[in-house]
Structure 1
Amino acid sequence: MCLKACSNSSILLIADLIRKFCFSIRGFSEEDLRTISKYYQPYLTYVIEYDLTSILQNLVTKRILTNEEAKSYKDREDAEGSEGVAWFVSDVLGKSRDVVIKLWEALAEEIMRFPSPNMKTILEEVAERGSALLIEIQLQDKHKAALDPYTRVLEEQPGPGNAHPREVSFENRYTELMIINQYRRTRGETHHELLETGKKHAKLLENRMQEKCKRIWINQLFRRRPGRDEHPRIVVVSGVAGIGKTTMVQKFMFDWVRDLHYQRFMFVFLFKFRELNLIEEEEATMPLTRLIVKLNKHLNDPRLREILKRPESVLFVFDGLDEYKHRLDFTQKRLCSNPEDVFPIPVIVTSLITQTLLKGCSVLITSRPTALEPLDTKRVDRYAEILGFFPEQRKRYFMKFFDSPLGTKAFEYVQQNDIIYTMCYNPSYCWIICSVLKSHFTAEEWKQRHAPKTITELFVIFITNILTNHKREADDTRGNLVKIGKMAYHGVKNRTLVFYDKFEMSTFGLTSLQSSPFLSGFMREILQRESCLEHTTYTFFHLTIQEFLAACYYFLDPSADVSEMLGNLDSCTDGSFEILTRFLAGLCRVPMTKPLQSILGQFKTQTGRKVLGWLKERTERAVKDLQNKNKTKELLHIFQWLYETQNALLIRDSIRELTKLEFTNTTLSPLDCAVLGYVLSQGGAVKEIDLSRTRLTKECMNRLGPAFHRCHTLRLERCGLTSSCCEDLASALCTNHSNLTELDLRYNNQLGDSGVRLLCAALRDPNCKLQTLKLHGCGLTSECCKDLASALCTNHSNLTELDLSSNNQLGDSGVRLLCAALRDPNCKLQTLK
């Protein structure tokens, strides 16, 4: 809008506003002027970006800048864009009081030509609230200073070769998370959340969806969407345990405290739901103002009430809804509307979300997906989901962790192990893997064993390394591990992630360890300790650490009987015991647990026998129920447990009745295929594998390859196979002990001539026993017929049936080559379609 479009009354109002503003700005002392200027600095950069040239001309006219100085500022903007403008603002605001005032006046005058809503707001705030605004800025500075210790560093946990924790800055260690601007609500989830998210990652990568995800960054959570008039007010960020929700909040606060982002919020109040639990133990009801002061003593100030009168400049951050002992109730009619009124804390939180309290304020909530069911979706303006690390971020994390060429070596090893690599989307899991691999790759050559293959082996090494560093600090290491394991199992069973010193820690006899060397040693490396009010809370650094120690409890405690827990697994339908069961299976493998037993003493052999017996019985039952299509997924879960045992004899005995495996019209991730490939390669009973109408990638085929040569019939109809998939099929056909006699590849129309060429090379191999090959509708042309003819004429060819129907481009020349092969005395073909 230009000057001509303004009405006379508007011009007069703007002129009056400029006059009042200039009067106020000249009335500030130099110190107050610097304070106001620093507060608005990010806004000034944003405003000046629109027309730096006009501002520079104005300052030259006022003889504040020379033509040469103005040209250098303009050249810098041309070269660096917004960073150049930011440098100009910072440089001018650092000059004398008179220069700073002239800059402000020049900006005020520019609003007559190009009205900027941001600049108009600044003029109004300074003109109408000058001294009050200064007081609030001072209080904000006090608040940011109090928050600074929370945002300054990430604590690097002590690991193998690093016996003591050290602090590292966000800039040096933080790796940007993948956050997508969507969220699918979870109801009645039947699988472990960590495993499901891992599979989701694998599927996204497989379908090359990473580029298609609508990604957002932390500084965009409250950004206005295109076409919307208002910023989102209520934002919910979901993510599984250990994915980085709290770290994201910490980064959010880090950016706000350092004036990097979200400066439109005058105040950001951070609440952790685990802290609200403790506050409610002491005082169940209170006003919002008291709740704020309870966790921010420095805000015990009458000015707080004035701040809350402008809710649009306030943000409330609530971290960890899944840790809250209450369900938020959006159906209750009596909500809070006044920050001075006394209400239960859950009602205050609900009232902020529904905007009955402080209408216009902003709220950010983080939670695990399992706790979001009761949330009123109509109240939420934006859902986002943290997916963690995609491959690029995973590699970057490894490089930062090792800070040496070992990072590349460790990452390449992990990439080759689907079981471990799939879980690398989770930052906490990445830390565990890196800690273990650091000890492995930095050990002397004679000490090096093979790197871990299973998740159980990974955690055995992880815990062993920590215990080795702190052997001398514990009087009763095994006894303490039993107590911790018992508490960990209680947490898994009751979905508890936060343990309180005066509750769970006391109940399980761990209170005495809080002041012992054992706490500063081993416990500090597995438990994160936080103080709130007069309480201390503990959380395991990752859910899988909690689950591993819960499994160890049954192998360490003489009084713990695993039978009852195993008996209850049939009734567990939410997947919460899935990883715990894998650990139980893996810990039965004696060679794997020897490092732990050398420190803790012998594991209970009775527990191992019971777990393996239960696993064998469970597998046999699932094999018998395979005619029920719904049981195939259950069998896949059981195969995951069998994989952890690495027990070939157990696997062979358990699946001896499995003659046909049918996973048709389903979804298999590369991780599923790796497990299937391993388990099926250990047993020789499976005669037929049918994966028809199940999409299989090159990675999937590579993982399944070890199992293919053991079966007699392999059905891969409509699996979306490409020519590159045939490398693994060809390898299975010509393996020395190959049993494959029938291969069904119908309707894989991207297989093509190059794929058939690879298969034909295998058909010419003397080890190949294939008799039936079905290539119906595989997009073949005459180009492949020369290879087919050559394979048919090989003197040791066993092929008796070949289906080439619905390959309409074979043509006369292709048929002519095949006919010539049929006349060859070595050709055994009886059926050609």
Structure 2
Amino acid sequence: MKQDEAADTLEDELFFIHQLKCSLKEKYQCVFEGIAKQGDSTLLNNIYTDLYITQGCSEQVNTEHEVRQIEVASRRHESQEIQVECKNLFEAPEQDKQIRTVLTKGVAGIGKSVSVQKFVLDWAEGKENQDISFIFPLPFREMNLKEKEKLSLMDLITQFFPETKGLNLTRRNQKSSSLDVLLTNLIKGNLLPSALIWITTRPAAASKIPPDCIDRLTEIRGFNDAQKEEYFRKRFTDENLAKEIIDHVKQSKSLFIMCHIPVFCWISATVLQNILEEKKNNDVKNNQADDASKKLQESNTEDTPKTLTQMYAHFLRFQILQSRRKYDGEYTPDVSWDKDAILSLGKLAFHQLERNNVIFYDTDLKDCGIDVYKASVYSGMCTQIFKEETGIVLGTMYCFVHLSIQEFIAALYAHLFLDINKKCVFDQDFVHV
């Protein structure tokens, strides 16, 4: 929000700005790839790769599958589009136009959250947008848990940012209202009319925002071809490993297209790095093995994934093996454990797809036989989004790292269900296990 709408005095304003920047820097300086808290922490500035963001997009809701949307987007000509830098979202191309509200849409895993994280971190570190006094990132997923409460704007802000308690952003008393009324008034400018609003959303939900309230419409398209390669080079300090992975991904059109999605780049990097490391270990063993052993070991490394299905199968296998090592201390072969894990995850994926859900809760996991505490066992497959602010648990929500992963596991579940029960999972007269 602009400085003329900030705290009543310069001294108070500087104090709150400093407190907020310190808090946001600590919160946003690291990125956890793949999963929220169980993943490996990395400094965002070390691996951040600019995303391809374009001005405008189709006004109609795209009902095609998100993977299909990515395939279509990959065929567009970049020269025909207006590219927007994330740091310049509120800068108007025409000097006489003021941009107050920006709506950015993008499919799941395309980089919306990381873009917001980078924008906030650059401000907190004093690098960009220093004409903005305060930034308050408010996640809809968590705010939705407060939909039945009546809150003022300051109530909402202080619950998410307790360090701002005592800050007065408005010069008039605010009435408490429901969350939807509060956010509507904020977007329309009835509350804090000089505040800058940036809304990020998936395409299907973009139509819920009144178009007359939006000053700029943008779309995050993920990585272009050059940015895909940049991602892998930043992720791996070993240049040879990065080049090998890039070369492999380029060999498959479907894999290379899917790498428009940063999350899929992470999946590919995870799988291919593991396969290449296994191959190197086998090469060492081959030097000491007989011919029969060599042939067996070579056959185990020849199935490097070339399709999306193969990539997801390898990813699932890798995560289960990682879970075994975490809880058993070693890669102990246990087929029954694998089947139980896959069936539990599959049941969750399948039933949530039936309900058109990509976000689910503790009770959903329990209904599928997944222990909430052990949700992290399925590291990389199930993302735990857990926030705790001001001593109050705002809620725990889960989602698969990407919709296509959820669909793959649901399809695998349907196959296993048929094989085990000799019944189709779509048979409504049969009780699902």
TM tier, smaller: 0.7 to 0.9
Question: Which residues of 2 match residues 403-802 of structure 1 at below 5 A?
Answer: 403-404=237-238, 405-442=240-277, 443=279, 444-445=282-283, 446=298, 447-471=300-324, 473=327, 476-501=337-362, 503-510=363-370, 513-516=371-374, 519-523=375-379, 526-532=382-388, 533-534=392-393, 535-557=395-417, 558=420, 561-562=423-424, 564=426
Deviation per residue, 1:529-567 (Å, 9 max, x gap) = 32244222222222222222212222334459446279x
Deviation per residue, 1:586-624 (Å, 9 max, x gap) = xxxxxxxxxxxxxxxxxxxxxxxxxxxxxxxxxxxxxxx
Deviation at 1:226, TM superposition (A): 2.3
> For 2:183 and 2:17, how far apart are their aligned partners in 1?
23
Q: Which amino acid aligns with 2:343?
A: V
Deviation at 1:461, TM superposition (A): 0.8
Are the equivalent residues in 2 in contact too, given 1:339–1:357 (CA < 8 A)?
Answer: no
Match of 1:273 in 2: 140
Secondary structure, counterpart of 2:126 in structure 1: coil
> For 1:247 and 1:504, how far apart are their aligned partners in 2?
27
Secondary structure, counterpart of 2:372 in structure 1: helix
Match of 2:294 in 1: none
Match among 168, 174, 189 for residue 48 of structure 2: 174
Are the equivalent residues in 1 in contact too, given 2:319–2:380 (CA < 8 A)?
Answer: no
> For 1:500 and 1:246, how far apart are their aligned partners in 2?
20
> For 1:508 and 1:278, how far apart are their aligned partners in 2?
23
Structure 2 residue 52 is the aligned partner of structure 1 residue 139? no
Are the equivalent residues in 1 in contact too, given 2:365–2:372 (CA < 8 A)?
Answer: no
> For 2:357 and 2:413, how far apart are their aligned partners in 1?
17
Match of 1:55 in 2: none
Match among 203, 218, 229 for residue 86 of structure 2: 218
> For 1:222 and 1:560, how far apart are their aligned partners in 2?
58
Instruction: Tell me the matched-pair count.
Output: 391
Deviation at 1:284, TM superposition (A): 2.2
Query: CA 1:152 to 1:454, structure 2 compared with 1: closer, same or farther past 3 Å?
Result: same
Deviation at 1:484, TM superposition (A): 2.1
> For 1:515 and 1:397, how far apart are their aligned partners in 2?
33
Secondary structure, counterpart of 1:180 in structure 2: strand
> For 2:186 and 2:302, how far apart are their aligned partners in 1?
56
Match of 2:183 in 1: 349
Identity between Structure 1 and Structure 2 (%): 27
Match of 2:154 in 1: 289
Deviation per residue, 1:193-247 (Å, 9 max, x gap) = 222222221x22xxxx2233211111110113223243x0010000001000011
Deviation at 1:525, TM superposition (A): 5.2
Query: CA 1:263 to 1:562, structure 2 compared with 1: closer, same or farther past 3 Å?
Result: farther
> For 2:427 and 2:218, how far apart are their aligned partners in 1?
36
> For 1:355 and 1:228, how far apart are their aligned partners in 2?
19
Deviation at 1:416, TM superposition (A): 1.9
Secondary structure, counterpart of 1:225 in structure 2: coil
Query: CA 1:130 to 1:289, structure 2 compared with 1: closer, same or farther past 3 Å?
Result: closer
Are the equivalent residues in 2 in contact too, given 1:531–1:537 (CA < 8 A)?
Answer: no
Are the equivalent residues in 2 in contact too, given 1:180–1:213 (CA < 8 A)?
Answer: yes
Are the equivalent residues in 1 in contact too, given 2:101–2:196 (CA < 8 A)?
Answer: yes
Are the equivalent residues in 2 in contact too, given 1:181–1:383 (CA < 8 A)?
Answer: yes
Match among 383, 389, 394 for residue 217 of structure 2: 383
> For 2:119 and 2:358, how far apart are their aligned partners in 1?
23
Secondary structure, counterpart of 1:384 in structure 2: strand
> For 2:10 and 2:309, how far apart are their aligned partners in 1?
58
**4+ aligned runs moved over 6 Å, structure 1:** none
Unaligned runs of 5+ in 1: 1-120, 159-163, 310-337, 567-833
Secondary structure, counterpart of 1:437 in structure 2: helix
Are the equivalent residues in 2 in contact too, given 1:180–1:387 (CA < 8 A)?
Answer: yes
Deviation at 1:458, TM superposition (A): 0.9
Secondary structure, counterpart of 2:137 in structure 1: strand
> For 1:393 and 1:399, how far apart are their aligned partners in 2?
10
Q: Which structure is larger by alpha-carbon Rg, 1 or 2?
A: 1
> For 1:565 and 1:267, how far apart are their aligned partners in 2?
54
Secondary structure, counterpart of 1:365 in structure 2: strand
> For 1:137 and 1:560, how far apart are their aligned partners in 2?
68
Q: Which amino acid aligns with 2:65?
A: H
> For 2:185 and 2:422, how far apart are their aligned partners in 1?
46
Match of 2:288 in 1: none
Match of 1:365 in 2: 199
Secondary structure, counterpart of 2:221 in structure 1: strand
Deviation per residue, 1:279-302 (Å, 9 max, x gap) = 23xx5222111111121122221x
Query: CA 1:339 to 1:359, structure 2 compared with 1: closer, same or farther past 3 Å?
Result: farther
Match of 1:193 in 2: 66
Deviation per residue, 1:783-805 (Å, 9 max, x gap) = xxxxxxxxxxxxxxxxxxxxxxx
Deviation at 1:130, TM superposition (A): 11
Are the equivalent residues in 2 in contact too, given 1:199–1:422 (CA < 8 A)?
Answer: no
Unaligned runs of 5+ in 2: 284-297, 329-335, 429-433
Deviation at 1:256, TM superposition (A): 1.2
Query: CA 1:228 to 1:133, structure 2 compared with 1: closer, same or farther past 3 Å?
Result: same
Deviation per residue, 1:627-669 (Å, 9 max, x gap) = xxxxxxxxxxxxxxxxxxxxxxxxxxxxxxxxxxxxxxxxxxx
Q: Scaled by the length of structure 1, what TM-score is found?
A: 0.44
> For 2:72 and 2:385, how far apart are their aligned partners in 1?
31
Are the equivalent residues in 2 in contact too, given 1:153–1:170 (CA < 8 A)?
Answer: yes
> For 1:455 and 1:130, how far apart are their aligned partners in 2?
52
Higher relative contact order (CA 8 A, sep 6+): 2
Query: CA 1:561 to 1:358, structure 2 compared with 1: closer, same or farther past 3 Å?
Result: farther
Q: Scaled by the length of structure 2, what TM-score is found?
A: 0.83
Deviation per residue, 1:679-703 (Å, 9 max, x gap) = xxxxxxxxxxxxxxxxxxxxxxxxx
The structure that is helix-richer by fraction is 1
Are the equivalent residues in 1 in contact too, given 2:53–2:85 (CA < 8 A)?
Answer: yes
Query: CA 1:424 to 1:465, structure 2 compared with 1: closer, same or farther past 3 Å?
Result: same
Are the equivalent residues in 1 in contact too, given 2:319–2:379 (CA < 8 A)?
Answer: no
> For 1:552 and 1:130, how far apart are their aligned partners in 2?
55
> For 2:170 and 2:427, how far apart are their aligned partners in 1?
52
Are the equivalent residues in 2 in contact too, given 1:528–1:539 (CA < 8 A)?
Answer: yes
Q: Which amino acid aligns with 1:259?
A: G
